[in-house]
Structure formats: structure tokens, C-alpha cells
Structure 1
Amino acid sequence: MSAKQNGVHALKLITTITNKYPTFRDEPLKTPYRWLEGRRHDDGAEGLWRIHDTLYDLTDFVERHPGGRDWIQWTKGTDITELFETHHITTRAEGLLPKFKVREAKQPRNVRLSFKDNGFYRTLKRRVRDKLPELDKSPIKTSNLIIDSLLGAAFMFSFLAIKFNSYLLAVACALCVNWTVISAHNYFHQKDNWRMRLFNLAFFSYREWRISHAMSHHHYANSILDLEISYFEPFLCWLPNPETKGVVKRFGAWIYGPLVYSMLCLAEFAKRLVESIQTGKSSFFADDMIAFALPTFMYLVDSSSVLNVLKLWFFIVLVASFAFALIGLNAAHHHPEIFHSGDEIPDEIDFGVYQIATVIDRSDIKGSHFAVLTHFGDHCLHHMFPTLDHGILPQLYPIFHETCNEFETVYRECNWLRHIISQHQQLARVESRTYDPRAKFT
């Protein structure tokens, strides 16, 4: 651990969410696999899989895991408590655990989020479990139709853009690419399926995002364990740290932020390329070639100019990247009244209450299946139950609101414009706040 991590900068960021400052967090090149390696140093899993205070050996279950082998294979040597709780709503997986038990862990959990049986999250999960058989599953087919149609539209507009050499049609293509990628996020949370691979359409990697998003961000949003916070540093700094957040970082991001948005997709590709060179091990897989599907198609339908295809495709990627970041970074998490590491929060906070503390949902897209799927909607419920299709989440609001009222926890919403304004206010914020679950949203 560096001197900086041991010094005042680290202390300013440590909260009751973690006992230790994350190993490798301040390395210049932050990658999902390095994040997992840091968890192996910090989690006290002793080379096994830790769930709460018990160690399990899931080696023989890797190939039999219904959700896919990657979830188990990648997490060996880490604490998977949050991952296990949120990805298994029924009790079936819990019933299988005893056969894999090795022993109790030797040290307390590093992450200080609680899952008490009578707490908010487990109470809500029991109610959701009881509600599942009654849910209307037909919206799942609508989700499938939406993403399939968006994929078809992306190819159609790419064809028209190259045929008419139109940058306006290229913008339409880019929007469809962006919406397809965001919709694919719905699927990489679920068991392995072909639609999750559409996330790779614009140089992203569903594999890496299963770690950085599903394992890191979803459970530890806005904390020092959240890769989607540390990835953007030092360019976009949302954590309120006056020791490291000078005037340029606070207000310069308002100006250069759009450039960061536009380069996000290409930066993801560059990061994996650098990682491959540094480690001598490729970070690329065969399905990463999906990123070249559109330009290949454009060349096949109009091979008169390779340069023109490349120019239009590059433009499509930049616009899609900008749209993805504009939607994603202003979706739910960055508002001055939302908890960020550096703020005060109740000790040993319930996992579900923590999710509410780090989210303000978008009110302007509620009720629209298309808008929710393509704009990271119903964000709070999605964080708590990520394996459920976005289409069926609205049916859970009655029991969610009931649980919030019972535990005196305020669920918050605002429109997108307020999110965009507030996200920039959060970039400038350096003072610490105290989160009170019962406080009214202002």
C-alpha cells in the first residue's frame, strides 16, 4: 500500500462501508481483473469463496453453475456475499451451500454492509420471492423485441448512412447502437445468453462490465470499491475530497466532460490493449469482434471507399459513446444529496438502505418500457434485484414502497434535467454530508 493510501487522502475517503482502503485502487491503469486481485488481498476469503462469515469451496460447481461459469471462476478468493444475496432471490442456492462449506472465516468481513434477517433488504427479498409466481412475465418478451429491433435499426441506419454519405443518418445509427448497448446491460446481469454479447457492439466488453458493473458498482455504488467511480479519476471526480479535488477537477470537468463522454468507448478498447501489453496476456476474446460487425457490414454494402466507411464508423462510435455516457452518468447516482465515500452514513448500514442512499431514480421515464430499458431506468430496484428483467420491475413497486414506509426510509426521484445539473454540482462538491435514511428529499 502506497504512502498516499496510508495518508490523509485515503483517510478522507474511508467510510464505514469498508474497513480497508482497497488494494491497487490508486494504480494508474484500473482494470476489472486487477480489482478482483485487490479483493483477494482484502476480503479474508483465504483462497476460497466467502459468503458472510463462512468459507466455501465452489471449485466443483464452476461448470455446473446455472448462471454461467464466469461468475464463479472469476471470484475465487473473494467475498461474494453481496453477489450471492442479490443474484439468488429464491432459497435454492442457499440450500446447496452446506455441501460446499469448508470452515468459518478467520477475520471479519471487510465490507460493512449488513444482511440481517429482519433488516430492510432481506424483508424486501422475502416479499419479492413470494410475489415472483404472480408476476406477469410477458414484459420479458417485450424487452427481447425492443433490443432485437434496435439492433436491426442500427444496421439499417448504417446502411442508409453509407449509401447516402449522411452524417445525420449516422447519428440515428449511433443512437440505435447506444440504446442496443444499454439494453444489453439488462442481459449480462442474467445467466449466459446471446443478447448480453450485444454489449460489445461499440468496443465495450460484457465480460469486463460483469465485473466492473455487476460485481463492483452494483454492490458498492459511489464508494471507494466502485470501479465506475475510480475509472474516471482524475478527469471526473465525484467523491467529495477537498485534499485532492482542486479547482480544475471541480469545475474544469464541466468543460472537458463532453470530451470524456465521447472517448469512453475507445478508451475501453485502449485500456484492454494496454493491459494485454503490460501483462502479456490477451484481454480480448472472439466475441470482441462484434465491435467490427457494423463497419464490415457497411463495407459490404458499399465498398467504394474504405476511408469513408472508417470515417462514418468512427463518427458513429464517438456519438454512441457520448450518448451512452450522457445517459449513464446522469442516470441515478451523482447528486449532492446522494451518498458518496467521504460522506457520513449509519454504521453497518443495511444493504438495501445503502442502495437507496446511492440512488435517486429518474421520474420522467417511469412507465415507459422502452425508456426504462434504454436509459437505465427503475435503477434502485434493478440494483437490488439485477437478475430480474427490467420489464417486470414495475410490478414490484407496491411492495418496495411498503417496505420503505415500514423501515422509515425515503425513496427519491427527480427528472433527467435535474440529474444533469446535480451531477455537475457533485463534481464541484468537496464538503462532507450526512445521509439520513428518513430525511425528506429537497
Structure 2
Amino acid sequence: MVKNGTKQDDLMAASIIRRYPRFLDMRIKTCEGWVVSKRKDDEAEGLWRIKDELYDLTDFITHHPGGPFWLETTKGTDITEAFESHHISKKPEEMLNKFHARSAAKPRNYKFTLHENGFYRVLKGRIREKLKGIDYSAARRTHLMHFALLVSTFALACSCSYTGNIIFVPFAALSLSWLTIATHNYFHRKDNWRMYTFNLSLLNFCNWRISHALSHHVYTNSLHDLEMSLFEPFLCWWPNSSIHTKWHRLFSVAIQPIVYTVIFPFQLTLRIVISLLDKNILFWHDCIGLTLPLFMLLVAQVPILTAMLQWVLIIGLASFIFGIIGLNAAHHGPQIVHEGDAIREDRDWGLYQLDTVIDRSDIKGSHFMVLTHFGDHFLHHLFPTLDHGILPQLYPILYETLKEHKAELRECTHLQHIIGQNKQLLRMTPNTIRPGSNANKT
């Protein structure tokens, strides 16, 4: 991406990482490449690093309650923040001692802190206690909503090929898009059957466990956020004039509809090409994406090519809807911290997450809208293994803890997010005022 030393220095001036990520210089960026690069950058000596200690979890891989994928993928990397946010209980932390190998030889690549009296650890302790008496019935409603979306997606798509009526296409696309977003609720957790339904979009939950759960959720809006770099050079949200010109920025705004439309098919196409020309990076469950058109063909009363065209339209439109919702959900706007902007003196990981998010106010209180529109985004980033349905019960504790740390959760509507995201694409000057500072408040 950037090979000029000065440009790297400009980007790293206020970074949350110490070294420029190697994967940014890769010509083709993939989730697998991100992991390989992270193993080199993190210098975890082939083990699992948490803060300044190294652990050998090799014998625990097959016993990991969340499934082997997480430990197999993160071997040789720093998992500090991911470990913290994915384990609310104290038990995993207490188990670490028996896997301790040695202290790390070199300092961490990440500048985050997780002090016991810091915002995140204090909030996490309170949430841990709250969960002992929480009402989990909302989680069951989440399961019902997800299942209803799964059924409606197949029903609407098959109605399209059975009747030949194109009116079913937009409804099937909307259902598929909502199903994909709702399924995101499940792949942060231990292995479960619902996470496989994500693949109906042609995306793959394993890839998203890397690009979204391990990269974006942890290193939001930074150079290490894979969900930022995967959209380059078409969309660039980092505010740095030394990387892209004003005309490139204008081009990014204009090309958004096309980018949105190809989100679903592009990643699968890229992985197929790489698998054919180099190394196989496909999974057996990539085939799940073909079940929707297969069902459409089984009930089709229209020619095969017509049914396939209907499916292509459903995928393209669903991808577009997904882009409208997802890329305008919480993270992009001139007031939101991106790589290059000044960051807080307090490097608490939870406060950094706060500064990279503006929640959507127009869907709060609606279980269905929150589930299908990446709602309650800040709490989800802090505690990704919790069901979206129970997050509203945690707000009193969140607001109390924010007040104690003199911080505030910002909110706006979806329309304001869309406007802000376009302004962010055009922004070339980093913010120089630190979030939470007196100057920022005035």
C-alpha cells in the first residue's frame, strides 16, 4: 500500500501500534495474509501472547470450549484484547497459569492498556456480576428472529423462481441481507450451526472471524483493521493527504454503489482465483452459498438461465443493502477516530473503542432492528460474545461507568451516518485534538 518512509511515518504518528503492518504492503490482501503478517509483527515466538507473557495452548486447542478455530488461527500472535473481550468470566484467566511458557522477550506491538482500575476492566467486572441475574429470554427471541429470516430468505427466493415474478427479488434480497447481519451475532461465539447460514451470502464466517472479530473488533479504524484495507484503493477512510489525492477521494464517493454491490461475490471470487493459481484457501462450507440457487432451481417454473439471473440479482441487491447498512453503521465520520487522528492520552482499550464508534439512535429499543442493523454497536464491540438481545439490559451499568471516567457514548441517526461516512471519505486532514480533552469538549 505505502512504501515511502515519510508516508508511513505520517500514518504512524498517532497510531495504536508501534510497527507499520507488513500486510499493508501486500499486493493482494486476504485474511490469511493478515494472520501471517500479524505473526511476524507480534513477535509472539510461535506461542500465544497475552500482555507481556507467552502461553503454550497447543494441548488445549482440541479442548477449547469455543472450538479449535480460534486457537489454531491465533497461534503465534498477540491475543491480549481478543482474549479480554471474548472471556467475561474469570475462569479462562485463572486457567492461563498452567499454560504459561515464559515472559516475552520484546515489548508489545500495541499501545493499549487494560488496567484493573481502567474503564474496560471496571466495566467488565460489573457486567460479569450483572450477567448472573440477567433475563436471557431475549436471546431466545433472537434465535427465533434468525430462524424466521432463514426461512423467509429461502421462501422468497424460491417464490421468485417458481412464479417468475421479479417482485420477489427485492424482498428476497432484503431478507438475505438481514439474515447475514443477524448471523454476525453468532460467529463471535463458540461453534454453532447458525454461523454457517452466513455463507448463504457467498461470504464465509471463517474469514469474517478473522477480518471482523480478530481484526476490526480489536484494532478498529487503525492500520491493523483489515476491514479498512480490504476496501482500498476504492474506499479509503484514513485521513491522510499523502496517500490519496482529492480526486481519488471524490472517486471513492462516486464509486460506492458499485463497491456495495460486489461485497458478497468479490471475496469468494478472489479466494477461488487464489486457490486455483496458488494455495487453496477455500473451505468445504463455501458450498453452502450454492444451496440457495439450488433450491431455486429445484422449484423453478422458469428457464434455468432465468432462475440463475434471479439469484444473481438477489445476491447483488442483498450485497448493496448490506453495504448501505454495514459501512454506515457506526465507524466512519469526521468526528470518529481513524488512523492518523490524535488519540486519548489514556490508552484504555475500551475508551479507544468508544472513540471509534457513534451508535445509531434511531434503532435503539427495537430488538429486530438492532439485530439486523449492527445496533448497540459499542456494547457489542466490548462484549462480542453476548447476544444482541440482552445488550439493552447493560446500558445502566455502561452509563454509570462512562460517567465515572468522564466519557460519553455518542449517537446519531442512520442518515447522519451516511452523510458523515461520505464526509470521512473526503476528509484528508487528521484531527489534532485528542478525544476527551478539554479542547475537544469546547
The normalised TM-score by structure 1 is 0.97
CA distance in 2, matches of 1:149, 1:19: 46
Change in 2 beyond 3 A, CA 1:177/1:6: same
Pick from 332, 335, 339: which aligns with 2:330?
A: 332
What is the CA deviation profile of residues 83-130 of structure 1, one whole-angstrom value per residue up to 9, with x for unaligned ones?
Answer: 100010010001110000000001111011110010000000000001
**CA displacement at 1:441 relative to structure 2:** 7.8
CA distance in 1, matches of 2:60, 2:441: 45
CA distance in 1, matches of 2:263, 2:441: 32
Contact 1:362 1:416 in 2 (8 A): yes
What is the CA deviation profile of residues 378-413 of structure 1, one whole-angstrom value per residue up to 9, with x for unaligned ones?
Answer: 000000000000000010000100011000012100
Contact 1:16 1:348 in 2 (8 A): no
Q: Which residue of 1 aligns with 2:80?
A: 81
**CA displacement at 1:278 relative to structure 2:** 4.1
Q: Which residue of 1 aligns with 2:427?
A: 429
CA distance in 1, matches of 2:408, 2:244: 30
Q: Which residue of 1 aligns with 2:294?
A: 296
Letter matched to residue 299 of structure 1: L
What is the CA deviation profile of residues 283-329 of structure 1, one whole-angstrom value per residue up to 9, with x for unaligned ones?
Answer: 22221111111110111001641101110000000000000111000
The DSSP-based 3-state class of the residue aligned with 1:219 is coil
Letter matched to residue 62 of structure 1: I
The DSSP-based 3-state class of the residue aligned with 1:333 is coil
Please identify, of 31-40 and 270-279, the stretch whose mean Cα deviation from structure 2 is larger: 270-279
CA distance in 1, matches of 2:27, 2:37: 14
The DSSP-based 3-state class of the residue aligned with 2:102 is strand
The DSSP-based 3-state class of the residue aligned with 2:62 is coil
What is the CA deviation profile of residues 337-381 of structure 1, one whole-angstrom value per residue up to 9, with x for unaligned ones?
Answer: 000001111246100000000000000000000000000000000
The DSSP-based 3-state class of the residue aligned with 2:338 is coil
Task: After TM superposition, list the pairs within 5 Å mapping 1:339-354 onto structure 2.
Answer: 339-347=337-345, 349-354=347-352
Contact 1:29 1:271 in 2 (8 A): no
Q: Which residue of 1 aligns with 2:282?
A: 284
The DSSP-based 3-state class of the residue aligned with 2:185 is helix
The DSSP-based 3-state class of the residue aligned with 1:336 is coil
Letter matched to residue 140 of structure 1: A
The DSSP-based 3-state class of the residue aligned with 2:217 is helix
Q: Which residue of 2 aligns with 1:314?
A: 312
Please identify, of 28-37 and 140-149, the stretch whose mean Cα deviation from structure 2 is larger: 28-37
The DSSP-based 3-state class of the residue aligned with 1:167 is coil
Contact 1:382 1:388 in 2 (8 A): yes
CA distance in 2, matches of 1:278, 1:12: 36
CA distance in 1, matches of 2:27, 2:160: 38
**CA displacement at 1:163 relative to structure 2:** 2.2
| Count of residues paired in the alignment | 439
CA distance in 2, matches of 1:351, 1:264: 29
Is 1:27–2:9 an aligned residue pair?
A: no
CA distance in 2, matches of 1:416, 1:140: 25
**CA displacement at 1:438 relative to structure 2:** 5.4
Please identify, of 313-322 and 294-303, the stretch whose mean Cα deviation from structure 2 is larger: 294-303
CA distance in 2, matches of 1:207, 1:303: 35
Q: Which residue of 2 aligns with 1:179?
A: 178
Contact 1:36 1:75 in 2 (8 A): yes
Q: Which residue of 2 aligns with 1:64?
A: 63
The DSSP-based 3-state class of the residue aligned with 1:151 is helix
**CA displacement at 1:12 relative to structure 2:** 1.8
Q: Which residue of 1 aligns with 2:397?
A: 399
CA distance in 2, matches of 1:67, 1:365: 30
Task: After TM superposition, list the pairs within 5 Å mapping 1:9-24 onto structure 2.
Answer: 9-14=7-12, 15-24=14-23
Is 1:409–2:407 an aligned residue pair?
A: yes
4+ residue runs of structure 1 moved beyond 6 angstroms?
439-442
CA distance in 2, matches of 1:427, 1:140: 36
CA distance in 1, matches of 2:426, 2:30: 26
Contact 1:128 1:396 in 2 (8 A): yes
Q: Which residue of 2 aligns with 1:156?
A: 155
What is the CA deviation profile of residues 119-164 of structure 1, one whole-angstrom value per residue up to 9, with x for unaligned ones?
Answer: 0000000000010111100011100000100011111111221122
Is 1:249–2:261 an aligned residue pair?
A: no
Q: Which residue of 1 aligns with 2:37?
A: 38
Q: Unpaired runs of 5+ in structure 2?
A: none
Letter matched to residue 374 of structure 2: F
CA distance in 1, matches of 2:102, 2:434: 36
What is the CA deviation profile of residues 174-219 of structure 1, one whole-angstrom value per residue up to 9, with x for unaligned ones?
Answer: 1001111100000001110000111101110000000000000001
Contact 1:412 1:441 in 2 (8 A): no
CA distance in 1, matches of 2:188, 2:372: 15
Is 1:98–2:97 an aligned residue pair?
A: yes
